[in-house]
Amino acid sequence: MVRNEARRTALLDAAIDVLAQEGARGLTYRAIDAKAEVPAGTASNYFANRDELMSNVMTRVHERLMPSDESVAESLALPRDRSLTVKFMHDIIKRADADKACYLAMMELRLEATRRPEIRKALTKTIADNIEANVAFNEESELPGDRMTVVSLYFAMTGLIYERLTLPDVVATMDLDELVEVMVNRAIG
């Protein structure tokens, strides 16, 4: 059977929405088909089992959250200093705000990884590879800070984004610009 890549992507986007709205327990082929508005049984034709589906969802989440090449090039035209690192952190927050479903789906995948070794293995590799890519980008772009700066900022930003998504009132009274700037300044040292 020849697979339609546009339909496969639409099914993965629907799965992300289902995960974000219903959690991992609500992620069924039927729910995905309904969300994607395709005939019943379509999702099961594209993904043989739950592990394959979740692995593909994980990849799609990362694709959707990646900055555009144009955006990165535009930013790298600026001076390579702390203010550029602050800008990159704000860009991460903007992408999270623009696609909350992806971060919520990723939270669900992380929770599922605590119960399913196959997903834990795949997600661990994906996140570790992502951190290494960020470290390499920081070095190649000659941005301030070392490996520990990048790792510290990764964990700080992940926590901040998840807090803003799940308990927004906790950070609502804080000045986001100041918070990001302090995080960057402390991480860079």
Tell me the per-residue pLDDT of 26-80, one tens digit each, with 9 for 90 and over: 999 999 999 999 999 999 999 999 889 998 999 999 999 999 999 999 999 999 9
For 83, residues 6+ apart whose C-beta sits below 8 A from its C-beta are none
Q: Check residue 106 and give its pLDDT.
A: 94
Per residue in 92-124, pLDDT tens? 999 999 999 999 999 999 999 999 998 999 899
- Taking residues 149-159, report their average pLDDT: 96
Query: Within 10 Å of residue 157's Cβ, how many Cβ atoms?
Result: 19
Q: Check residue 51 and give its pLDDT.
A: 87
pTM above 0.85, yes or no: yes
Residue-by-residue DSSP string for 56-100: HHHHHHHHHHSPPHHHHHHHHTS-SSHHHHHHHHHHHHHHHHHTH
Asked if 11 and 37 count as a contact pair (C-beta separation under 8 A), the reply is no
pLDDT of 156 > 90? The answer is: yes
> How many whole angstroms separate alpha carbon 180 and alpha carbon 189?
14
Q: Check residue 189 and give its pLDDT.
A: 84
User: Which tokens is 28 given?
Assistant: 């069924």
3-class SS of residue 105: helix
Per residue in 6-36, pLDDT tens? 999 999 999 999 999 999 999 999 999 999 9
CA distances (Å), origin 114, targets 64, 75, 108, 111, 130: 24, 37, 10, 5, 19
> How many whole angstroms separate alpha carbon 147 and alpha carbon 189?
13
pLDDT of 187 > 90? The answer is: yes
Domain 50-188: state its class: mainly alpha
pLDDT of 2 > 60? The answer is: no
Q: Check residue 99 and give its pLDDT.
A: 96
Asked if 131 and 147 count as a contact pair (C-beta separation under 8 A), the reply is no
> How many whole angstroms separate alpha carbon 171 and alpha carbon 189?
24
Q: Check residue 131 and give its pLDDT.
A: 96
pLDDT of 1 > 60? The answer is: no
